[in-house]
Homo-oligomer: A and B are copies of this chain.
């Protein structure tokens, strides 16, 4: 939380962070609308202490934009296929602009119909899902979102990767507080964490993955070359399969295996679809129902269990007060990858 007090961190304002990201993306030729959407989302994550999905992703956008199919000029526009089903083709640009442009129509249709779907198609996806569901909840709606990734994950009882890390995000609107929001991968551990174990020469806890032969392994390098495992055994595996089907074939887009095949070694962000569902609790809900939701959420917190999102909100409050923390080395790396150093940065 207090990373910005470290000598290895610098502190910048939210506006400065956005300008840094925007300048970086535009310097590589990304269209302004795409660059603004991506900068906004990366800065939100950095601000909320989600460093893995923050400005650290900026250098990697170069690899994604270098993919032969990446479209820097993509200009996605939503299309209402039915009153409850909206599609937006990210056009081989980053998913984030497509999701952003689809949200107003999704929210409007869900408000009137009670439920609506937004399918983001053909997008390079490199951001967290929670900013999208949080934005929907801030409009008074509940929301779910999910996507496939690459086929790094074996099903429970299986031997090789066929599922993605398949995150599920959910948000529920609250009257006087930030929305209840969670966003988790359906794997036992994040791929980045396994890489960290490898880099630090540590062995993995049991149950995180399999080696290339499909045998359980605690060697991070073997698991990265083999397959990760879902969280929660057969139940988590079933959930990951549901996400694979719903955020892939249901929305007419790629499965995790198809996304991996598309990459062809480019090490770009995975190219696939994203399913976003918005729900209006006012259609069936009533005052008693709303109070009941608060009773559940306050009751969880009051017994000392952490509500997902609490760490993010604490980090957000600190960023608002003290500025956004950014590792000095990351800042230097970002600047070094840019043709010119914007003068307005520290």
Taking the closest CB of chain B, its distance from the CB of A212, in whole angstroms, is 13
Cβ contact within 8 Å between A284 and B87: yes
Given contacts A162-B299, A241-B300, contact A293 B115 (CB under 8 A): no
Q: Is A326 an interface residue (CB 8 A)?
A: no
A142: contacting residue among B83, B180, B246, B292, CB under 8 A? B246
List the B side residues contacting A236 at CB < 8 Å: 231-232, 235-236
Taking the closest CB of chain B, its distance from the CB of A139, in whole angstroms, is 15
Q: Which residue of B lies closest to A185 (CB)?
A: B235
Against B, the Cβ 8 Å flags (1 = close, 0 = not) of A232-256 are 1111111101101110111111110
A289: contacting residue among B84, B172, B253, B295, CB under 8 A? B253
List the B side residues contacting A85 at CB < 8 Å: 113-115, 283-284
Q: Which residue of B lies closest to A285 (CB)?
A: B252
Q: Is A12 an interface residue (CB 8 A)?
A: no
Q: Which residue of B lies closest to A283 (CB)?
A: B85
Q: Is A97 an interface residue (CB 8 A)?
A: no
Cβ contact within 8 Å between A248 and B289: yes
Cβ contact within 8 Å between B84 and A159: no
Cβ contact within 8 Å between B237 and A305: yes
Closest 8 CB pairs of A and B: A232-B232, A158-B305, A85-B114, A249-B289, A249-B293, A157-B305, A252-B284, A182-B238
